[in-house]
Amino acid sequence: MLRPVAFGVGAAILTALSLYGTLRNGLSFTPDSWAFWQISVSLLSGHGYRYADGYPVVFWPPGFAGYLAVWQAMFGISVGTLVKAQIAVGAFAAFSSTAVALSIGNSDRQRLASGVVTALLIAGTVSRFFQAPWANFLLFALIPWLLWATVRLDGARTDSGTLLCAGLASLALLLMLLTHNSAIAFLPPLLAVALTRKGMLRWPATAIVLTAPLIWWGARWLLGQQESVAWIGGRHSLKSYVQQLSSGIAAPFGSQFVPGAILVILVLALIPWKELSRAQLLAFATSAAACVGLLCVFLVVWNWDGLYYRFTLFFPLSLIGLIGTTFLLHTGWLRIAAVIVVTGWAAVTVIHLVSPVLEASSPRARAAVDVLDTSVLPVNATISPQTAASGRFVLVQPPKIPRNHAEMMQLLATGRYGR
Protein backbone atom coordinates (compact mmCIF):
# COMPACT_ATOMS: atom_id res chain seq x y z
CA MET A 1 0.00 0.00 0.00
CA LEU A 2 3.05 2.27 0.39
CA ARG A 3 3.34 3.10 -3.30
CA PRO A 4 -0.38 3.80 -3.77
CA VAL A 5 -0.19 6.14 -0.77
CA ALA A 6 2.85 7.90 -2.26
CA PHE A 7 1.11 8.44 -5.58
CA GLY A 8 -2.00 9.57 -3.70
CA VAL A 9 0.06 12.18 -1.86
CA GLY A 10 1.48 13.33 -5.20
CA ALA A 11 -2.03 13.70 -6.66
CA ALA A 12 -3.11 15.62 -3.56
CA ILE A 13 -0.19 18.06 -3.84
CA LEU A 14 -0.84 18.66 -7.55
CA THR A 15 -4.53 19.23 -6.88
CA ALA A 16 -3.86 21.59 -3.98
CA LEU A 17 -1.44 23.70 -6.02
CA SER A 18 -3.80 23.91 -8.98
CA LEU A 19 -6.82 24.75 -6.82
CA TYR A 20 -4.81 27.39 -4.98
CA GLY A 21 -3.94 28.99 -8.30
CA THR A 22 -7.61 28.97 -9.29
CA LEU A 23 -9.20 30.00 -6.00
CA ARG A 24 -6.64 32.26 -4.36
CA ASN A 25 -8.51 35.43 -5.44
CA GLY A 26 -12.07 34.27 -4.82
CA LEU A 27 -14.52 31.41 -4.54
CA SER A 28 -17.63 30.59 -6.58
CA PHE A 29 -20.90 30.57 -4.64
CA THR A 30 -24.21 28.96 -5.59
CA PRO A 31 -27.41 28.95 -3.50
CA ASP A 32 -26.32 25.73 -1.79
CA SER A 33 -22.90 27.24 -1.05
CA TRP A 34 -24.56 30.23 0.59
CA ALA A 35 -26.73 27.87 2.63
CA PHE A 36 -23.78 25.81 3.92
CA TRP A 37 -21.86 28.96 4.84
CA GLN A 38 -24.81 30.35 6.80
CA ILE A 39 -25.37 27.04 8.60
CA SER A 40 -21.70 26.67 9.54
CA VAL A 41 -21.64 30.19 11.01
CA SER A 42 -24.85 29.44 12.91
CA LEU A 43 -23.19 26.36 14.41
CA LEU A 44 -20.14 28.42 15.40
CA SER A 45 -22.35 31.07 16.98
CA GLY A 46 -24.14 28.50 19.12
CA HIS A 47 -27.48 28.99 17.38
CA GLY A 48 -27.75 25.38 16.28
CA TYR A 49 -28.31 23.78 12.90
CA ARG A 50 -30.15 26.71 11.32
CA TYR A 51 -29.96 29.32 8.58
CA ALA A 52 -28.89 32.90 9.33
CA ASP A 53 -32.53 33.91 9.88
CA GLY A 54 -33.05 31.18 12.47
CA TYR A 55 -35.07 28.86 10.23
CA PRO A 56 -34.23 25.16 10.79
CA VAL A 57 -32.40 23.28 8.04
CA VAL A 58 -34.57 20.60 6.41
CA PHE A 59 -32.63 19.60 3.31
CA TRP A 60 -29.08 18.60 4.24
CA PRO A 61 -27.36 16.43 6.84
CA PRO A 62 -24.89 18.26 9.11
CA GLY A 63 -21.60 16.79 7.87
CA PHE A 64 -20.41 19.41 5.40
CA ALA A 65 -21.62 22.42 7.41
CA GLY A 66 -19.85 20.95 10.43
CA TYR A 67 -16.69 20.53 8.34
CA LEU A 68 -16.78 24.22 7.33
CA ALA A 69 -17.47 25.20 10.93
CA VAL A 70 -14.31 23.42 12.09
CA TRP A 71 -12.18 25.29 9.57
CA GLN A 72 -13.73 28.63 10.48
CA ALA A 73 -13.25 27.93 14.19
CA MET A 74 -9.53 27.65 13.46
CA PHE A 75 -9.01 30.39 10.84
CA GLY A 76 -11.96 32.77 11.15
CA ILE A 77 -15.21 33.37 9.29
CA SER A 78 -14.26 34.43 5.77
CA VAL A 79 -14.18 33.29 2.17
CA GLY A 80 -10.42 32.88 2.57
CA THR A 81 -11.04 30.17 5.16
CA LEU A 82 -13.56 28.47 2.88
CA VAL A 83 -10.91 28.47 0.14
CA LYS A 84 -8.59 26.58 2.48
CA ALA A 85 -11.38 24.12 3.28
CA GLN A 86 -12.14 23.66 -0.42
CA ILE A 87 -8.50 23.02 -1.29
CA ALA A 88 -8.34 20.44 1.50
CA VAL A 89 -11.45 18.67 0.14
CA GLY A 90 -9.98 18.57 -3.35
CA ALA A 91 -6.61 17.30 -2.12
CA PHE A 92 -8.28 14.60 -0.02
CA ALA A 93 -10.48 13.54 -2.95
CA ALA A 94 -7.45 13.25 -5.24
CA PHE A 95 -5.53 11.30 -2.61
CA SER A 96 -8.45 8.93 -1.93
CA SER A 97 -9.26 8.25 -5.58
CA THR A 98 -5.63 7.68 -6.56
CA ALA A 99 -4.56 5.58 -3.57
CA VAL A 100 -7.64 3.35 -3.66
CA ALA A 101 -7.51 2.87 -7.45
CA LEU A 102 -3.87 1.76 -7.24
CA SER A 103 -4.32 -0.37 -4.13
CA ILE A 104 -7.01 -2.51 -5.78
CA GLY A 105 -5.50 -2.28 -9.26
CA ASN A 106 -4.03 -5.06 -11.36
CA SER A 107 -1.02 -3.01 -12.42
CA ASP A 108 1.96 -4.59 -10.66
CA ARG A 109 3.83 -5.04 -13.92
CA GLN A 110 3.87 -1.31 -14.63
CA ARG A 111 3.40 0.27 -11.19
CA LEU A 112 5.44 3.45 -11.80
CA ALA A 113 3.86 4.42 -15.12
CA SER A 114 0.36 3.49 -13.93
CA GLY A 115 0.80 5.45 -10.72
CA VAL A 116 2.03 8.60 -12.45
CA VAL A 117 -0.73 8.56 -15.07
CA THR A 118 -3.47 7.80 -12.54
CA ALA A 119 -2.31 10.57 -10.22
CA LEU A 120 -2.12 13.09 -13.07
CA LEU A 121 -5.52 12.30 -14.56
CA ILE A 122 -7.34 12.28 -11.22
CA ALA A 123 -5.64 15.46 -10.01
CA GLY A 124 -6.56 17.22 -13.26
CA THR A 125 -10.20 16.17 -13.02
CA VAL A 126 -10.61 17.11 -9.36
CA SER A 127 -8.95 20.52 -9.73
CA ARG A 128 -11.10 21.26 -12.77
CA PHE A 129 -14.45 20.64 -11.09
CA PHE A 130 -13.98 21.35 -7.37
CA GLN A 131 -14.62 25.08 -7.74
CA ALA A 132 -17.49 25.72 -5.29
CA PRO A 133 -18.13 24.70 -1.67
CA TRP A 134 -20.60 21.84 -2.17
CA ALA A 135 -21.25 18.88 0.09
CA ASN A 136 -21.12 16.62 -2.97
CA PHE A 137 -17.37 17.17 -3.28
CA LEU A 138 -16.69 15.99 0.25
CA LEU A 139 -18.89 13.00 -0.57
CA PHE A 140 -16.72 12.22 -3.61
CA ALA A 141 -13.66 12.22 -1.34
CA LEU A 142 -15.27 9.57 0.89
CA ILE A 143 -16.66 7.27 -1.82
CA PRO A 144 -13.30 5.61 -2.68
CA TRP A 145 -13.02 4.39 0.92
CA LEU A 146 -16.43 2.79 0.70
CA LEU A 147 -15.31 1.04 -2.50
CA TRP A 148 -12.12 -0.07 -0.75
CA ALA A 149 -14.08 -1.45 2.22
CA THR A 150 -16.57 -3.16 -0.11
CA VAL A 151 -13.73 -4.89 -1.96
CA ARG A 152 -12.21 -5.95 1.37
CA LEU A 153 -15.57 -7.30 2.52
CA ASP A 154 -15.89 -9.34 -0.66
CA GLY A 155 -12.39 -10.77 -0.23
CA ALA A 156 -12.58 -11.52 3.50
CA ARG A 157 -11.94 -15.19 4.27
CA THR A 158 -12.44 -15.30 8.04
CA ASP A 159 -15.44 -14.54 10.25
CA SER A 160 -13.62 -11.80 12.13
CA GLY A 161 -12.32 -10.30 8.88
CA THR A 162 -15.79 -10.28 7.37
CA LEU A 163 -17.33 -8.52 10.35
CA LEU A 164 -14.47 -6.03 10.53
CA CYS A 165 -14.78 -5.15 6.84
CA ALA A 166 -18.56 -4.87 7.18
CA GLY A 167 -17.98 -2.42 10.02
CA LEU A 168 -15.53 -0.37 7.95
CA ALA A 169 -17.94 -0.29 5.01
CA SER A 170 -20.80 0.73 7.31
CA LEU A 171 -18.66 3.51 8.83
CA ALA A 172 -17.74 4.82 5.38
CA LEU A 173 -21.40 4.76 4.31
CA LEU A 174 -22.45 6.57 7.50
CA LEU A 175 -19.91 9.35 6.93
CA MET A 176 -21.16 9.65 3.35
CA LEU A 177 -24.82 9.81 4.43
CA LEU A 178 -24.03 12.47 7.03
CA THR A 179 -22.37 14.45 4.24
CA HIS A 180 -25.04 14.17 1.54
CA ASN A 181 -28.35 12.32 1.35
CA SER A 182 -27.64 11.09 -2.19
CA ALA A 183 -25.16 8.59 -0.70
CA ILE A 184 -28.15 6.32 -0.05
CA ALA A 185 -27.66 5.15 -3.65
CA PHE A 186 -24.63 3.13 -2.46
CA LEU A 187 -26.64 1.10 0.04
CA PRO A 188 -28.10 -1.50 -2.39
CA PRO A 189 -24.77 -2.64 -3.91
CA LEU A 190 -23.17 -2.75 -0.45
CA LEU A 191 -26.07 -4.82 0.87
CA ALA A 192 -25.74 -7.16 -2.11
CA VAL A 193 -22.09 -7.85 -1.22
CA ALA A 194 -22.96 -8.42 2.45
CA LEU A 195 -25.80 -10.80 1.55
CA THR A 196 -23.52 -12.93 -0.64
CA ARG A 197 -21.30 -13.90 2.31
CA LYS A 198 -21.36 -17.64 2.88
CA GLY A 199 -23.39 -19.32 5.60
CA MET A 200 -25.01 -17.56 8.51
CA LEU A 201 -22.32 -14.86 8.52
CA ARG A 202 -24.28 -12.94 5.91
CA TRP A 203 -26.89 -11.89 8.48
CA PRO A 204 -24.62 -10.20 11.04
CA ALA A 205 -22.68 -8.59 8.17
CA THR A 206 -25.94 -7.26 6.71
CA ALA A 207 -27.07 -6.02 10.13
CA ILE A 208 -23.80 -4.13 10.57
CA VAL A 209 -24.21 -2.49 7.15
CA LEU A 210 -27.78 -1.46 7.96
CA THR A 211 -26.70 0.42 11.08
CA ALA A 212 -25.41 3.25 8.85
CA PRO A 213 -28.78 4.21 7.28
CA LEU A 214 -30.52 3.70 10.63
CA ILE A 215 -28.19 6.16 12.39
CA TRP A 216 -28.55 8.56 9.46
CA TRP A 217 -32.33 8.41 9.64
CA GLY A 218 -32.16 8.88 13.40
CA ALA A 219 -30.07 12.02 12.88
CA ARG A 220 -32.67 13.30 10.41
CA TRP A 221 -35.38 12.67 13.00
CA LEU A 222 -33.45 14.55 15.69
CA LEU A 223 -32.99 17.49 13.29
CA GLY A 224 -36.69 17.51 12.39
CA GLN A 225 -36.07 16.56 8.76
CA GLN A 226 -38.59 13.71 8.51
CA GLU A 227 -40.85 15.59 6.09
CA SER A 228 -38.12 17.22 4.01
CA VAL A 229 -38.37 14.54 1.29
CA ALA A 230 -41.16 15.12 -1.22
CA TRP A 231 -42.24 11.69 -2.51
CA ILE A 232 -44.13 13.17 -5.45
CA GLY A 233 -42.01 11.93 -8.34
CA GLY A 234 -39.09 13.55 -10.10
CA ARG A 235 -39.01 17.06 -11.47
CA HIS A 236 -38.04 15.71 -14.90
CA SER A 237 -38.96 12.69 -17.00
CA LEU A 238 -37.05 9.41 -17.13
CA LYS A 239 -35.70 10.31 -20.58
CA SER A 240 -34.49 13.69 -19.33
CA TYR A 241 -32.78 12.17 -16.30
CA VAL A 242 -31.05 9.55 -18.44
CA GLN A 243 -29.76 12.34 -20.69
CA GLN A 244 -28.60 14.31 -17.66
CA LEU A 245 -26.88 11.26 -16.21
CA SER A 246 -25.08 10.61 -19.51
CA SER A 247 -24.06 14.25 -19.72
CA GLY A 248 -22.80 14.26 -16.14
CA ILE A 249 -20.69 11.14 -16.68
CA ALA A 250 -19.27 12.46 -19.95
CA ALA A 251 -18.48 15.98 -18.68
CA PRO A 252 -14.97 15.24 -17.32
CA PHE A 253 -13.96 13.58 -20.60
CA GLY A 254 -15.24 16.27 -22.96
CA SER A 255 -13.27 19.01 -24.66
CA GLN A 256 -13.83 21.68 -27.26
CA PHE A 257 -12.48 19.26 -29.86
CA VAL A 258 -13.99 15.88 -28.92
CA PRO A 259 -17.46 15.34 -27.38
CA GLY A 260 -17.34 13.73 -23.94
CA ALA A 261 -19.59 10.82 -24.93
CA ILE A 262 -17.12 9.75 -27.64
CA LEU A 263 -14.25 9.87 -25.16
CA VAL A 264 -16.23 7.78 -22.67
CA ILE A 265 -16.72 5.13 -25.37
CA LEU A 266 -13.00 5.24 -26.14
CA VAL A 267 -12.16 4.83 -22.46
CA LEU A 268 -14.50 1.85 -22.10
CA ALA A 269 -13.11 0.32 -25.29
CA LEU A 270 -9.50 0.72 -24.14
CA ILE A 271 -10.02 -0.94 -20.75
CA PRO A 272 -8.70 -4.54 -20.89
CA TRP A 273 -11.75 -6.07 -19.25
CA LYS A 274 -10.37 -9.62 -19.29
CA GLU A 275 -7.30 -8.47 -17.36
CA LEU A 276 -9.20 -6.79 -14.56
CA SER A 277 -9.06 -8.24 -11.09
CA ARG A 278 -12.20 -9.18 -9.20
CA ALA A 279 -11.64 -6.17 -6.95
CA GLN A 280 -11.55 -3.78 -9.92
CA LEU A 281 -14.68 -5.29 -11.44
CA LEU A 282 -16.52 -5.07 -8.11
CA ALA A 283 -15.52 -1.43 -7.57
CA PHE A 284 -16.67 -0.58 -11.09
CA ALA A 285 -19.95 -2.48 -10.65
CA THR A 286 -20.60 -0.76 -7.31
CA SER A 287 -20.10 2.68 -8.85
CA ALA A 288 -22.30 1.80 -11.84
CA ALA A 289 -25.02 0.43 -9.55
CA ALA A 290 -24.90 3.66 -7.52
CA CYS A 291 -25.52 5.65 -10.72
CA VAL A 292 -28.62 3.53 -11.36
CA GLY A 293 -29.63 4.08 -7.74
CA LEU A 294 -29.29 7.83 -8.14
CA LEU A 295 -31.49 7.69 -11.22
CA CYS A 296 -34.17 5.82 -9.23
CA VAL A 297 -33.95 8.33 -6.37
CA PHE A 298 -34.39 11.28 -8.71
CA LEU A 299 -37.39 9.58 -10.31
CA VAL A 300 -39.30 9.18 -7.03
CA VAL A 301 -38.13 12.20 -4.99
CA TRP A 302 -38.62 15.77 -6.21
CA ASN A 303 -35.25 17.51 -6.50
CA TRP A 304 -34.55 20.99 -7.78
CA ASP A 305 -31.18 20.00 -9.25
CA GLY A 306 -30.59 17.92 -12.35
CA LEU A 307 -28.63 14.68 -12.36
CA TYR A 308 -25.42 16.27 -13.63
CA TYR A 309 -21.72 15.96 -12.70
CA ARG A 310 -22.43 17.47 -9.29
CA PHE A 311 -23.98 14.12 -8.37
CA THR A 312 -22.17 11.74 -10.73
CA LEU A 313 -18.51 12.82 -10.76
CA PHE A 314 -17.57 9.79 -8.64
CA PHE A 315 -18.21 7.49 -11.60
CA PRO A 316 -15.86 9.28 -14.05
CA LEU A 317 -13.24 9.34 -11.28
CA SER A 318 -13.65 5.57 -10.94
CA LEU A 319 -13.31 5.17 -14.70
CA ILE A 320 -10.21 7.36 -14.76
CA GLY A 321 -8.64 5.30 -11.99
CA LEU A 322 -9.47 2.13 -13.88
CA ILE A 323 -7.99 3.26 -17.18
CA GLY A 324 -4.90 4.68 -15.46
CA THR A 325 -4.11 1.42 -13.71
CA THR A 326 -4.80 -0.89 -16.64
CA PHE A 327 -3.89 0.81 -19.93
CA LEU A 328 -0.47 -0.90 -19.98
CA LEU A 329 -1.95 -4.37 -19.51
CA HIS A 330 -2.89 -4.53 -23.19
CA THR A 331 -0.79 -6.42 -25.70
CA GLY A 332 -0.05 -5.85 -29.37
CA TRP A 333 -1.55 -2.93 -31.28
CA LEU A 334 -4.13 -2.28 -28.55
CA ARG A 335 -1.27 -1.44 -26.20
CA ILE A 336 0.09 1.07 -28.70
CA ALA A 337 -3.33 2.66 -29.13
CA ALA A 338 -3.89 2.80 -25.37
CA VAL A 339 -0.49 4.39 -24.75
CA ILE A 340 -1.08 7.05 -27.44
CA VAL A 341 -4.54 8.00 -26.13
CA VAL A 342 -3.63 8.02 -22.44
CA THR A 343 -0.29 9.78 -22.94
CA GLY A 344 -1.97 12.52 -24.94
CA TRP A 345 -4.66 12.82 -22.31
CA ALA A 346 -2.06 13.08 -19.55
CA ALA A 347 -0.14 15.76 -21.47
CA VAL A 348 -3.27 17.91 -21.80
CA THR A 349 -3.96 17.34 -18.11
CA VAL A 350 -0.52 18.68 -17.17
CA ILE A 351 -1.33 21.89 -19.05
CA HIS A 352 -4.66 22.22 -17.22
CA LEU A 353 -2.91 21.67 -13.88
CA VAL A 354 -0.13 24.19 -14.47
CA SER A 355 -2.08 27.00 -16.16
CA PRO A 356 -4.06 28.09 -13.06
CA VAL A 357 -0.84 28.36 -11.06
CA LEU A 358 0.79 30.50 -13.76
CA GLU A 359 -2.30 32.72 -14.02
CA ALA A 360 -2.66 33.17 -10.27
CA SER A 361 -0.99 36.57 -10.35
CA SER A 362 -3.87 38.08 -12.29
CA PRO A 363 -6.62 39.09 -9.81
CA ARG A 364 -10.06 37.66 -10.40
CA ALA A 365 -12.78 40.24 -11.02
CA ARG A 366 -15.40 40.47 -8.34
CA ALA A 367 -18.83 39.40 -9.48
CA ALA A 368 -22.11 40.78 -8.26
CA VAL A 369 -24.01 38.66 -5.78
CA ASP A 370 -27.17 37.58 -7.58
CA VAL A 371 -30.01 35.75 -5.89
CA LEU A 372 -30.10 32.10 -7.01
CA ASP A 373 -27.16 32.58 -9.33
CA THR A 374 -23.49 31.67 -9.21
CA SER A 375 -21.31 34.50 -7.94
CA VAL A 376 -17.66 34.94 -7.03
CA LEU A 377 -16.69 36.43 -3.68
CA PRO A 378 -13.22 37.77 -2.81
CA VAL A 379 -11.24 36.00 -0.10
CA ASN A 380 -11.70 38.92 2.34
CA ALA A 381 -15.52 38.65 2.28
CA THR A 382 -17.36 37.60 5.44
CA ILE A 383 -20.92 37.28 6.70
CA SER A 384 -19.91 37.88 10.32
CA PRO A 385 -20.34 41.49 11.57
CA GLN A 386 -17.80 40.77 14.30
CA THR A 387 -15.20 39.69 11.75
CA ALA A 388 -15.96 42.67 9.50
CA ALA A 389 -15.45 45.05 12.44
CA SER A 390 -11.69 44.54 12.19
CA GLY A 391 -11.70 46.57 8.99
CA ARG A 392 -9.80 43.93 6.99
CA PHE A 393 -12.91 42.17 5.74
CA VAL A 394 -15.88 43.10 3.56
CA LEU A 395 -19.30 42.29 5.02
CA VAL A 396 -21.65 40.66 2.50
CA GLN A 397 -25.32 39.83 2.88
CA PRO A 398 -26.37 36.27 1.96
CA PRO A 399 -29.14 36.21 -0.65
CA LYS A 400 -32.52 34.74 0.22
CA ILE A 401 -32.74 31.12 -0.83
CA PRO A 402 -35.59 28.58 -0.67
CA ARG A 403 -35.51 26.95 2.75
CA ASN A 404 -38.05 24.18 2.21
CA HIS A 405 -39.99 22.34 -0.48
CA ALA A 406 -42.94 24.78 -0.40
CA GLU A 407 -40.69 27.75 -1.14
CA MET A 408 -39.00 25.79 -3.94
CA MET A 409 -42.35 25.06 -5.57
CA GLN A 410 -43.40 28.71 -5.20
CA LEU A 411 -40.17 29.85 -6.83
CA LEU A 412 -40.62 27.36 -9.67
CA ALA A 413 -44.20 28.49 -10.29
CA THR A 414 -43.84 32.27 -9.94
CA GLY A 415 -40.14 33.05 -10.16
CA ARG A 416 -40.17 34.44 -6.62
CA TYR A 417 -41.25 33.55 -3.12
CA GLY A 418 -42.33 35.64 -0.18
CA ARG A 419 -40.70 35.94 3.18
pLDDT in tens, 391-417: 788 888 777 777 666 666 666 666 555
Assess contact for 301 and 231: CB atoms under 8 A: yes
User: Which pLDDT belongs to residue 201?
Assistant: 87
pLDDT band (50, 70, 90) for residue 274: confident
The boundaries of the domain holding residue 382 are: 2-414
pLDDT of residue 303: 79
Confidence grade of residue 369 (pLDDT, cut at 50, 70, 90): very low
When pLDDT is averaged across residues 243-257 and rounded to a whole number, the result is 79
Interval 6-32 mean pLDDT: 89
198 part of a folded domain: yes
Answer yes or no: is 365 within a domain. Answer: yes
Alpha-carbon torsion 89, 90, 95, 100, what sign?
A: positive
Between the two ends of the chain, the Cα-to-Cα distance in Å is 54
> 45-54, 262-271, 303-312: lowest mean pLDDT where?
262-271
Tens of pLDDT, residue by residue over 36-47, are 999 999 999 888
Report pLDDT for 407: 66
Q: How many domains does the chain have?
A: 1
Distance, CA of 33 to CA of 316 (rounded, Å): 23
Centroid of chain to Cα 357: 23
Is 410 inside any structural domain? yes
- Residue 291 inside a domain? The answer is yes
Compute φ and ψ for 383, nearest 5 degrees: -115, 10
Q: What stretch of H or E contains 265?
A: helix 260-270
Quote the longest CA-to-CA distance of the chain.
68
Residue 419 lies in a domain: no
Q: How much is the pTM?
A: 0.90
Q: To the nearest whole number, what is the mean pLDDT of the chain?
A: 85
For residue range 98-134, list pLDDT tens digits in order. Answer: 999 999 876 554 567 788 889 999 999 998 889 889 9
Name which of 263, 265, 271 is nearest 348 in CA terms: 263
The identity of residue 139, as a single letter, is L
Q: DSSP character for 50? A: B
Nearest to 15 by CA among 141, 110, 111, 108: 141
Residue 332 lies in a domain: yes
Q: Tell me the percentage of the chain whose pLDDT exceeds 70.
A: 87
Instruction: Compute the average pLDDT of residues 208-227.
Output: 89
Band (pLDDT 50/70/90 cuts) for residue 62 is very high
362 has a pLDDT exceeding 70: no
